[in-house]
Amino acid sequence: MAEIIDTRTEPDRAIEQARAVLSEGEPVAIPTETVYGLAADATNPDAISRIYEMKGRPRFNPLICHVSDMAMAEAHVTFDPISRRLAEAFWPGPLTLILPQRPESTVHSLASAGLDTLGIRMPDGFSRQVIARFGHPLAAPSANTSGKISPTSAAHVQADLGSKLKLILDAGPAEIGLESTIIKVEDGTLRLLRPGGLDAGEIENLTGCVVMRPESAGATIEAPGMLASHYAPGAAVRLNAEDVQAGEALIRFGGRPLPGEGEATIVLDLSPGGNLREAAANLFDYMKQADASGARTIAFGRIPEEGLGEAIIDRLQRAAAPRG
């Protein structure tokens, strides 16, 4: 099992150990405000290979590079004016920008999967200090086996990848609980490659531009990580349930009971008070709990489509998609 260091009680040791393991070319699981990441030196091809190997992830899938400050970002990518504005407004935070990689950037092509762009973000919280100390961008997908639910706690990471990892930094439950929103600016048009922890409506309010949505879930090749059956729990998933069958787990929203829920293996409410931020933060953990209840199917109550509901529904549709 991996060593777990609590960053709240031992911040200095956490940073030093992470630096040491990363310098050996080994991945470290780090807490970000979105989900826990499986981080490795983005300039070291062997280290990046270890990420793909641990996750069992297809090689064609590019990774997000995490930076600690604007100077580090600008050493690797060029910003158009709109992207710069977004970075200034929302970094550190749950926003990834797809930007042209600079010719002199030392990020290895294994991290970008050979594209001429990089997915880049400045995370909030403890991971930012780890990156600053390490001094190079960290490539980090979510710290889970490919296709499984993203981890929002150190315990989730330990249960899934603990036998392969040396070190997990534990900063408590992820504050946002959904992966970052991915935006690509092209000829002044903002394209949403993945809805996520930053509400696309906030981006529209800031820029005064419409954010173009992908045609349908999983349709875009621009973000090849967006495979239809991502985020799959073990159980089948049924959306917009109006009632519950015996043997199903129920995950509902807004404190509304559903007929038949007394027969459910477990009943969880993403946010009894109807708060979408709270719902996002609970989503992946509740999917894991529902899975662990032994249910053959997880029934989800209806989620409102506004704000972060867009990203939550995106993840649920992927979880409900045919597997394979």
Query: Residue 34, annotated ligand binder?
Result: yes
The nearest distance, CB 5 to ligand TXA, in angstroms, is: 18
Among 117, 129, 207, 297, binds ligand TXA (CB under 6 A): 117
CA dihedral sign, ordered 50, 40, 225, 185 = negative
32 binds ligand TXA (CB under 6 A): yes
Q: What is the CB-side half-sphere exposure of residue 97 using CA atoms within 13 A?
A: 32
63 binds ligand TXA (CB under 6 A): yes
* Nearer Cβ to Mg ion (72/178): 178
**Beta-strand (E) ranges in the chain?**
3-6, 28-31, 36-41, 64-66, 95-100, 117-121, 138-139, 167-170, 181-186, 189-194, 211-212, 236-238, 248-252, 267-269, 297-300
The nearest distance, CB 230 to ligand TXA, in angstroms, is: 9
Find the helix or strand (DSSP H, E) in which 278 lies: helix 276-292
Q: Which stretch binds ligand TXA (CB under 6 A): 17-25, 73-81, 117-125, 250-258?
A: 117-125
CA 47: distance to chain centroid? 20
Pairing type for strands 236-238 and 3-6 reads unpaired
User: Residue 258's closest CA among 292, 299, 296?
Assistant: 299
The nearest distance, CB 70 to ligand TXA, in angstroms, is: 17
Annotation: binding site: 34, 57, 61, 66, 117, 121, 140, 142, 150, 180, 194, 231
Residues near ligand TXA (CB under 6 A):
32, 34-35, 37, 61-64, 96, 98, 112, 115, 117-119, 123, 140-142, 179-180, 182, 193-194, 222-226
Annotation: binding site for ATP: 57, 61, 117, 150, 194, 231
Annotation: binding site for L-threonine: 34, 66, 121, 140, 142, 180
